[in-house]
Chain A
Amino acid sequence: MNNLPVSPNLIVVGGIAGLAAVAAVGVVLFNNAIRSAMCLVLNFVLLAVLYFSLNAEMLGITQIAVYTGAIMVLFLFVIMLLNLGAPQLLVEKKDPKRFAAIGFGVVLFGLVGSQLLPAFNGVSTPQALDDFGGPHAIGRTLFSAYAYPFEAVSILLLVGLVGSILLAKRRI
């Protein structure tokens, strides 16, 4: 960490990362469900920008297409249909469980951080190799080495689709 020179690029990346962290905090702190969801969208987009800046374009664009473009739209859909916008419904009373939650959160952060952070120590070029994780490489790996898991996952998705249709429609 210490041998990383402070360059404008690093400042930009740091700024984006900081904004993403602020957006993540906003997801938890907003009472209004729509605003929380929008903070999550902002967080996803900023994460994708971070990936772009680290030369991992494929990962970033997947992040935007899948999470921001599809999943969060469905979330917004549900929030609107259930009309969860009224903030007064979501204000909780003071609750001792809150402190327990904070404690558990800190412990979880310590656990994950103790495993993840040492790996970043001494990294001086925060950039993937050229075409690392590009569409060609991913496609080739997915359809050769991981062809069987890929097909298994696609069957799983198909089963999920059929199941949801069966549950939603009584008579087909």
Chain B
Amino acid sequence: MGDWLINHPFWHALLRVVLLVLPVLLFVVPIIWFERRLLGWFQDRLGPNRTGNIQFSRTSRFVPFFLKGKKFHLQGLAQPMADGIKLFLKEDITPSAVDRAIYFIAPAIALFPPFALGATIPWGPFPLITPVADVNIGVLYILAISSLGVYGIVLAGYAGNNKFSLLGGLRSSAQLISYELAMGVSLGCIVMATGSLKPSDMLAYQGGAFWGFKESAIGDILANWNILTPFGAVAALIFFICMIAETNRAPFDLPEAENELVAGYHTEYSSMKFAVFFMGEYASMFVYSAILVTVFFGGWHLLPFRFDYLAAHYPAAGDIWHVLDMLNGNSFLAPIWFILKCAMVITGYIWIRATLPRLRYDQLMSLGWKSLLPLAVSNLIVIAFWIFATDTFGPLVGWATSFLAVLILIGLYRSLNKNAESTQLASRTIELVDPSPRRTVELVEPAQVPSA
């Protein structure tokens, strides 16, 4: 009885889950600070830089001697904490006409996918503690859980009993369903190239020879990160666009478009319940960047070099390669590099938010269905050609074939679109409804008041 209490796999699983969920939870705060500072920088202002500056008293007896008169500048790092405390202490208003049960459940459901999503993502070379489950269906799991993200928003929009919330919820479900397709196909490209659904196998594949050139100088030194291959770069671009849409970030933040829908699906939420939605959004940003890094950017490795291969095959300088391999991420440094890479992707998120205006609804739909999905599917076709040719004739013929396939696809696209006349949006002019003179305001001079 006591044996399974201690040695039960449950405890190992619990440790793995805690090591996944705690960082996701903790990184929400620095991400919010990072976004606000960066946005301030992009918009040529300061951003929050005051909160958290501490100056200890020079004379007080309660301050130990080594702190007297010391100043600490946290560069506004305490601002998100101040925001959090504010949100905690605000009055929690529940409107009277809401559907109570669903109104309370919706934030919790919105929080579930970001925390469950990373369960198949390894964040370091430690098979004992990461990932939570290295199952055969890793990528399918990511797609399935990310498709649950729509529930929190749709239910919040419905429960609020508010037209704007409902519209936000409906928009969000249409958006998420549309962009999931392209996201799935772009991940499918990498699944086909790797031949496995496991993220850990994808990492192993990305440690292989560059562009498949085995036994050559370039293949021995450079690793085959998916972002460095042409089709991998296209798939990464599609995945990046789709993950911005899946996390409802600008320029795809139509569910909460402030100037059209007040605040969208969380119009009726206040205080902590709003904070939960907010937290879920930032957590999912972090987790999606982790997925992008793992699938396309070589996971926890710092640079695309195959030091482990060099150490094994060139033993003359084996120690140097070994040390470089450790520095490159095959050691306790792995989580640090991994998080730095995620920070790069999050910077991309924020940069795009600061640069691009929000899309119109029809632009959103046509981007998802008419641009991203055909691009992703043609990418899939190119990869199929590449796999076939590489397996039969070797890497050089493989790349030639895929280049030819790209040319054929471009030619097909052009010949198909030749007949379609280029449609331009009609320029909009403003016409006054009734410019009759009686609508103009007449200025009436005030009567002369005789001065006293």
Interface residues, chain A, CB within 8 Å of chain B?
8, 32, 34-35, 38, 41, 57-58, 61-62, 64-65, 68-70, 73, 76-77, 80-81, 85, 131, 134-136
Contact = CB atoms under 8 A, between A and B. Distances in A.
B151 A73 contact: yes
A68 B147 CA distance: 8
5 contacts: A8-B8, A34-B102, A64-B148, A68-B148, A131-B136
B169 interface: yes
A38 B102 contact: yes
| Closest A-B pairs by Cβ, 9 of them | A69-B147, A65-B144, A64-B144, A61-B140, A61-B137, A134-B136, A57-B137, A57-B135, A61-B144
B77 interface: no
A62 B99 CA distance: 31
Contacts of B155: 34, 38, 76
Contact of B147 (A32, A35, A70, A76): A70
Contact of B136 (A34, A38, A57, A80): A57
B154 interface: yes
B198 to A, nearest CB: 10
A62 to B, nearest CB: 8
Contacts of A70: 147, 177
A65 B140 contact: yes
Report the interface size class on chain B: 20 to 34
Contacts of A69: 144, 147-148, 150, 180
A135 B144 CA distance: 15
Contacts of A8: 4, 8, 10
Contacts of A68: 144, 147-148
A17 to B, nearest CB: 19
Interface string B23-52: 000000000000000000000000000000
Contacts of A135: 136-137, 140, 197
Given A8-B4, A35-B101, A77-B170, A65 B147 contact: yes
B143 interface: yes
A85 B99 contact: yes
Nearest to A64: B144
Interface string B198-225: 0000000000000000000000000000
Interface in B135-182: 135-137, 140-141, 143-145, 147-148, 150-151, 154-155, 158, 166, 169-170, 173, 177, 180
A85 B102 CA distance: 12
Contacts of B99: 32, 34, 85
Contacts of A32: 99
A99 to B, nearest CB: 30
A34 B180 CA distance: 24
A57 B197 CA distance: 12
B90 to A, nearest CB: 28
Contact of B137 (A35, A58, A73): A58
B177 A85 contact: no
B151 A64 contact: no
Contacts of A80: 154, 158, 166, 169-170
A134 B197 CA distance: 11
A144 to B, nearest CB: 17
A79 to B, nearest CB: 8
A18 B428 CA distance: 61
B150 A73 contact: yes
Given A8-B8, A76-B158, A80-B169, 17 more contacts: A8-B4, A32-B99, A34-B155, A38-B102, A38-B105, A41-B151, A61-B137, A62-B140, A64-B144, A64-B145, A68-B144, A69-B144, A76-B151, A76-B173, A77-B170, A80-B154, A80-B166
A58 to B, nearest CB: 6
Given A35-B102, A69-B148, A85-B99, A77 B173 contact: yes
Contacts of B143: 65
Nearest to A45: B148
Given A57-B137, A61-B141, A65-B143, A73 B102 contact: no
Most interface-central of B8, B137, B150 (chain A CB within 10 A) = B137
Contacts of A61: 137, 140-141, 144
A30 B148 CA distance: 22
A58 B135 CA distance: 10
A65 B158 CA distance: 22
A49 to B, nearest CB: 12
A23 to B, nearest CB: 13
A77 B141 CA distance: 24
B271 to A, nearest CB: 24
A80 B4 CA distance: 48
Contacts of A134: 136-137
Contacts of A65: 140, 143-144, 147
Most buried by B among A41, A69, A76: A69
Nearest to A131: B136
Contacts of B8: 8
Interface string B111-139: 00000000000000000000000011100
Contact of B177 (A38, A57, A58, A73): A73
Contacts of A57: 135-137
A8 B3 CA distance: 13
B291 to A, nearest CB: 16
A64 B119 CA distance: 15
Contacts of B10: 8
A58 B151 contact: no
| Residue from A41, A76, A131 having most chain B Cβ neighbours under 10 A | A76
B300 to A, nearest CB: 25
A154 to B, nearest CB: 14
B137 to A, nearest CB: 5
